[in-house]
Chain A
Amino acid sequence: MRISTIGYYFAEAFRSLVRNSWLSLASVGTVTVSLLILGCSLLLVLNADRVATTLESSVEVSVFLHNGLNQDQVNALEEKIRALPGVSQVRFISKAQALAEMRQSFGGQKDVLASLDKKNPLPDAFRVKTQRADQVIGVASRIQAMSGVDEVRYGQGVVEKLLAITHWIRLAGLAAMIALAAAAVFLISTTIRMSVFTRRREISIMKYLGATNWFVRFPFLLEGMVLGLIGALCAALLVYFGYFSLVRRIGETLPFIPLITGGRYLQAMLGGLTVLGLLIGALGSTISIRRFLNV
C-alpha cells in the first residue's frame, strides 16, 4: 500500500468527519455517554464486588461453648467442626483470651474491666471461618446441633442480604454493559450509514472508475473507528478524573469503605474502554458498509 493511498484514506475520513460535523459530534457524544455509563457501572460493580468480598471474608461464625467442658471434649469438638465441609479456619478463644481482647477494645473503661477480673463471665469459644460466605448458614446450623455448643452466632440475615445484593449488582451491571455497548454500535452504524448515504454518488463513481472494494470501504471504517476512539477517550478521561475526585471525597468522609484506588485496575479499565470504543466504531461501520458495495 502506498503512502499516498494511506494519506488519502485519512484525508477522506477526516474530510467526512468535518463535512458531517454535527452528525459526527452527535455520534461522538453518544459514544462518550454510552461508554461513560459503561465505565461508571463497571466501577460500581468492581467496587461493590470489592466491598462484598471484604464483608464476606469478615463474616465468621462465633461458637460459644457450655461452661465446664474439659480439654478433651473441647478438642473433640474442634475436630468435628474442622471436619465440616466448607470450613477453612477454626480458632479457639479461651475465656482468658476473650477477656484480653475485650480489655483491648474497651481500653478506656478500667472500672468495668476491673470488676470482670474477679469472675470472668465470658465462655470459651471457637471462631470459625468458611471458604465462601454462602456456606456460613449451613455450617452454623450444623455446629448448633453439636453437643457442648451453647450458642452459635453469625451475622444472621446480613450475609443473606449481602449475597443477594452483590448478585443483583453483578447481573444489572452486566445487562447495562451489554445494552449500552449495543446502543453505541447502533449509533455509530447509523452515523456511518448517513455518511455512506450522503456519499453514495461518490461511491458509485468510485466503482465506475475502478476503485477496489477495500479502497471504498476503508475511509468509512476509519471514520467509524475515529468516532469510537474519540468518544472512548472522552469517556475515559471523564471517568478517570471524576472517579479520583469522588474517591478523594469519600476517603475523607467515609474512610472505612474499601474503594478501589489502585492505578493498575483503573488503567486496565480505561485501556479496555478505549479498545472497546475502537471495536464499537469498527463494528458499527462494518455493519453499514456491507450493504452499500454492490455496484
Chain B
Amino acid sequence: MIHFYGVSKVYQNGVTALKNINLHIRRGEFLFLVGPSGAGKSTLTKLIFREELPTSGQVIFNGKNVARMRSREVPHLRRKIGMVFQDFRLLPRKTVWENVAFALEVTGASRRDIRRRVPEVLQLVGLSGKADMLPDQLSGGEQQRVGIARAMINNPVLLVADEPTGNLDPETAWELMNIFQEINARGTTIIMATHARDIVDRMKKRVVALNAGCVVRDEIGGGYRDED
C-alpha cells in the first residue's frame, strides 16, 4: 500500500535525514519504526502525509504519487490517514466529544454522521463515559485515547503514530497497545515510531530499524536491539 522508492531527504539547513530508502508496506501490516533520535523516523512518517516533500525518490500511497500530488489534493490524502502524536495535540478548550467530532467537521461531514460516528469511536477507545470532559480533566493515557479516537473517526486505511506512548507510563502504554492491536485487527494498517523496547519485543511485529537515515534492519517478529 505504501512504497518508498529510493527516497532521500535533505533539509534546507543541510541536514540529511534519509538516504536512499526503499521500503514497502502492505495493507493490514503493523510496523514498528525504531532507531535512535535523529535517525529519520519522524521524517519518514512526515513524507507519507506530505508534511515534507522528498528531495529525491518517490513515495506512493494507495497508488498515488504523494510527492507529485497537487496541494489541493493533500487534504483528501490526509483524511485517509489517521495521525497520533506523542503530545496528543488535543484542543484544550474543546470537550472530548468536540475534539473527536472536530476531525469530522473539518471534512464537512453532516451532523447526523457526527452524532452517529463519535459514540462508536469513543466506545472503541473506552471513553464513552467521559465525552463531556475537557482534556486537562483526563489522565495522559485517557488523553491519548481521545487522540486515537480522533485519528480513527474518518475510518482511515492507515494509522501513523509518532511515539504515541512516549509520555506515558508502561502500564498505560500497554493498555493503548491493546487498542492499537484491536484497530489493526479490524484491517487498518499501522506505522508506529517508538522507543519503547519491551513493547516492540513482545508484540512480535515487523520492525524496521533506521540509523543515520538508512534502513539497517527490516525483519518480521523481530525485537529491539541494543544497536538500534
Write the residues of chain A forming the contact surface with B, with a CB cutoff of 8 angstroms: 1-2, 4-5, 8, 201-202, 204-213, 215, 295
| A5 vs B113: C-alpha distance when bound (angstroms) | 13
Q: What chain B residues lie within 8 Å of A207 (beta carbons)? A: 75, 78
Q: What chain A residues lie within 8 Å of B49 (beta carbons)? A: 208
- Against A, the Cβ 8 Å flags (1 = close, 0 = not) of B106-134 are 11111100000000000000000000000
Q: What chain A residues lie within 8 Å of B91 (beta carbons)? A: 201-202, 205
Which of A2, A202, A206, A213 sits near B110, CB closer than 8 Å? A2
| Chain B residue nearest in CB terms to A12 | B105
| A2 vs B75: C-alpha distance when bound (angstroms) | 18
| A2 vs B13: C-alpha distance when bound (angstroms) | 43
| Chain A residue nearest in CB terms to B83 | A208
Q: What chain B residues lie within 8 Å of A204 (beta carbons)? A: 89
Q: What chain A residues lie within 8 Å of B107 (beta carbons)? A: 209-211
> Given contacts A202-B91, A295-B51, is CB(A210)–CB(B72) below 8 Å?
no
Which of B75, B77, B110 sits near A4, CB closer than 8 Å? B110
13 inter-chain pairs at a CB distance below 8 angstroms, sorted by A residue, are A2-B108, A2-B110, A4-B111, A201-B89, A205-B89, A205-B102, A208-B83, A209-B79, A211-B106, A212-B75, A213-B72, A213-B75, A215-B108
Chain B nearest CB from A218 CB (Å) reads: 11
Chain A nearest CB from B74 CB (Å) reads: 8
Number of interface residues of B (CB under 8 A): 22
| Cβ–Cβ contact B108 & A208, under 8 A | no
| Cβ–Cβ contact B105 & A210, under 8 A | no
- Knowing that A209-B106, A209-B150, A210-B77 are A-B contacts, what are 13 other residue pairs whose CB atoms are under 8 Å apart, sorted by A's residue number? A2-B108, A4-B111, A8-B105, A201-B91, A207-B75, A209-B78, A209-B102, A209-B107, A210-B76, A211-B75, A211-B107, A213-B75, A215-B106
Which of A2, A201, A202, A209 sits near B103, CB closer than 8 Å? A209
Instruction: Please name the 9 residue pairs, one residue from A and one from B, whose CB atoms are nearest each other, closest first.
Output: A211-B106, A210-B78, A210-B79, A210-B75, A209-B103, A212-B75, A5-B108, A209-B106, A4-B111
Q: What chain B residues lie within 8 Å of A295 (beta carbons)? A: 51
B86 lies within 8 A of chain A by Cβ: no
Q: What chain B residues lie within 8 Å of A210 (beta carbons)? A: 75-79, 106-107, 154
| A175 vs B65: C-alpha distance when bound (angstroms) | 54
Q: What chain B residues lie within 8 Å of A4 (beta carbons)? A: 108-111
Write the residues of chain B forming the contact surface with A, with a CB cutoff of 8 angstroms: 49, 51, 72, 75-79, 83, 89, 91, 102-103, 105-111, 150, 154
Chain B nearest CB from A30 CB (Å) reads: 27
| Chain B residue nearest in CB terms to A1 | B108
Q: What chain B residues lie within 8 Å of A215 (beta carbons)? A: 106, 108
| A201 vs B85: C-alpha distance when bound (angstroms) | 13
| A201 vs B108: C-alpha distance when bound (angstroms) | 20
| Cβ–Cβ contact A212 & B102, under 8 A | no
| Chain A residue nearest in CB terms to B106 | A211
| Chain A residue nearest in CB terms to B93 | A19
| A201 vs B99: C-alpha distance when bound (angstroms) | 13
Interface centre among B51, B77, B106 (most CB of A within 10 A): B106
Interface centre among B83, B89, B105, B111 (most CB of A within 10 A): B105
Chain A nearest CB from B58 CB (Å) reads: 22
| Cβ–Cβ contact B106 & A206, under 8 A | yes
| Cβ–Cβ contact B89 & A208, under 8 A | yes
Chain A nearest CB from B105 CB (Å) reads: 6
| A212 vs B89: C-alpha distance when bound (angstroms) | 19
| A207 vs B89: C-alpha distance when bound (angstroms) | 12
Chain B nearest CB from A41 CB (Å) reads: 42
Q: What chain B residues lie within 8 Å of A205 (beta carbons)? A: 89, 91, 102
| Chain B residue nearest in CB terms to A199 | B91
Chain B nearest CB from A200 CB (Å) reads: 12
